[in-house]
Amino acid sequence: VANEEFEALFPKFQPSRVTITTNDGKEYSTRVDVPKGDPRDPMTEEEIAVKFTALGGDVIGNDQCKKLQKFIMNIDTADRLDELLALTTAR
């Protein structure tokens, strides 16, 4: 649902609000102005690894996914990139 307050903040911010209402009627709400992963709120390497495995594990397998993560996080020291292509192939 469009929110005038939030729309006015865009594009400097991309605010979101989530409200949870429990069965007994209590409401819990939180707001963020910058999405996780934005340069202003970057993900940690651990958060990246968890997301990477969650999204890629079913496609290439968890073991291969972990190898691919390691390769990508150290790509600046790689002599060759053929391993990168091999690791991205679903098996």
pLDDT bucket at 2, cuts 50 / 70 / 90: confident
Report yes or no: 87 and 71 within 8 Å, Cβ to Cβ.
yes
What's the pTM value of the predicted model, to 2 decimals?
0.68
Q: What is the pLDDT of residue 90?
A: 79
Q: State the average pLDDT over residues 10-20.
A: 95
Average pLDDT of the chain to the nearest whole number? 93
In the chain, where the domains are located: 1-36, 45-87
Any alpha helices (H) in 11-81, and if so which ranges?
Answer: 45-60, 62-73
